[in-house]
Amino acid sequence: MLSIIIPSRSPEFLQKTIDECLNNAHGEVEVIAVLDGIPPPNIKLDPRVKIIPNGEHKGMREAINYGVRESHGSHIMKIDEHCMLDDGYDVKLLADCEDNWVCIPRRYRLAWEKWERLIDGRRPIDYMFLAYPFETPYDKACGLHGAEWKQRFDERKDILIDDTMSWQGSCWMMSKKHWDWMGELETSKYGPFTQEAQEIGNKTWLGGGRVIVNKKTWYAHLHKGNRGKRYSFTNWMYHVHQQEMERGREFCVDYWLSNQWERRIHDFAWLVEKFWPVPGWPEDWQERIKKDKLLDYRFVRPEGPVFPEIIP
């Protein structure tokens, strides 16, 4: 059975996403929606669906952890609450997923008004890379963020099951065995929300597994932009949310670039070399990063991190 975890903060499209998970599955699935500090929405009763109130706001990471604890499947899939899915997505993903792999469907954009996959001439998104974290002052705030890798898409368009350095985080699948091996998502250092794909992906790659994109199936994800930017937070909650994300991103950069994960069988340099050349990474990055890191700290303002969204 495939257990599908949906962390929910703004449940406008939650019912539609649950319907996608149920109606387009060809195998046995269960859907576990974990409500992150919001009132229970009106969801249709279905024995395959469990709605879990998670009390006060604890963040997406803990909602995912909570959902996995309640799951019963041999494999787990996480998906955002504003997505549609390919017909037979479950069996297509399961057919090409080893025990220590993380499997990502091809990603399209969702036209939410008509609830359909948006086909507008732009590429679907198959590949992402971890961006060099010190390209400009303050760029550490991006914390190895994932960026679309268009050149890799063009060069490897005929490879249906292929390695990707990173991904967005809005949808992934793995065996429960692999989840148990990795351990739950860490919340004390990363914070409640950010760097989910970086933690899972780096543990998988550096621990001897693979992160693959499966182009035989797809999902469509709503990029909310300004329309849903504040995730139902008040202004004060959003300010705290941004601060927590900043701390998590800084931790992510320091943790992985300095090889602090004790269970690794590869250093971070191995991952960069595996996908070399990686856009934006200088050839002498291992030397430059020492200087860039010091330069980045010099540019941090004494009053704290910079958040363009809330500066007057």
Give me the residue spans of the domains in the chain: 2-310
- Tokens 């602090």 correspond to 260
Per-residue pLDDT for 310 more than 50?
no
Q: Say yes or no: domain 2-310 is CATH 3.90.550.10.
A: yes
Which of 92-96, 129-133, 161-165 has the least mean pLDDT?
A: 129-133
Per-residue pLDDT for 90 more than 90?
yes
Instruction: Give the pLDDT confidence score for residue 34 in this predicted structure.
Output: 96
171/166 Cα distance (integer angstroms) = 12
Q: How many CB atoms lie within 10 A of CB 53?
A: 11
Instruction: Give the pLDDT confidence score for residue 302 in this predicted structure.
Output: 42
Task: Estimate the share of the chain in helix, then strand, then coil, as percent rounded to the nearest 5.
Answer: 35, 20, 45
Instruction: Give the pLDDT confidence score for residue 198 in this predicted structure.
Output: 96
Per-residue pLDDT for 24 more than 50?
yes
Instruction: Give the pLDDT confidence score for residue 134 in this predicted structure.
Output: 79
Query: 3-state SS of 91-125?
Result: HHHHCCCCCCEEEEEEEEEEECCCCEEECCCCCCE
Nearest of 64, 101, 102, 104 to residue 219 by alpha carbon:
104
In order, the DSSP letters of 183-201 are -SPP-TTT-SSS-HHHHHH
Q: Which long-range contacts (CB under 8 A, 24 or more apart) does 308-312 make?
A: 309/229, 309/242, 310/238, 310/239, 310/242
Mean pLDDT, residues 56-66? 89
Instruction: Give the pLDDT confidence score for residue 239 in this predicted structure.
Output: 52
Residues 226-276: tens digit of each pLDDT? 554 444 555 545 555 667 777 888 889 889 999 999 999 999 999 999 999
In this structure, what is the dihedral angle of CA atoms 126, 171, 216, 159, given to the nearest 10 degrees? 30
Residues 73-85: tens digit of each pLDDT? 999 999 999 999 9
48, 103 Cβ separation under 8 angstroms: no
How does residue 111 score in pLDDT terms, banded at 50, 70 and 90?
very high
Mean pLDDT, residues 7-35? 97
Instruction: Give the pLDDT confidence score for residue 238 in this predicted structure.
Output: 56
Residues 267-306: tens digit of each pLDDT? 999 999 999 999 999 999 998 887 776 555 444 444 444 3
Highest mean pLDDT among 70-84, 142-156, 214-228: 70-84
Mean pLDDT, residues 140-163? 90
For the chain, the straight-line distance linking the first and the last C-alpha, in angstroms and rounded, comes to: 50
Q: In a 10 Å sphere around its CB, with 0-12 CB exposed, 13-18 middle and 19+ buried, how is residue 310 labelled?
A: exposed
Per-residue pLDDT for 225 more than 80?
no
Of residues 39 and 65, which shows the higher confidence score? Answer: 65
Per-residue pLDDT for 181 more than 50?
yes
Residue 284: C-alpha distances to residues 137, 212, 213, 266, 273 (Å): 19, 28, 29, 19, 12
What's the CA angle centered on 199, arms 174 and 311, to 5 degrees? 130
Instruction: Give the pLDDT confidence score for residue 290 in this predicted structure.
Output: 77
Per-residue pLDDT for 105 more than 50?
yes
225/209 Cα distance (integer angstroms) = 33
Query: What global pTM score does this model have?
Result: 0.89
212/103 Cα distance (integer angstroms) = 5
Of residues 135 and 82, which shows the higher confidence score? Answer: 82
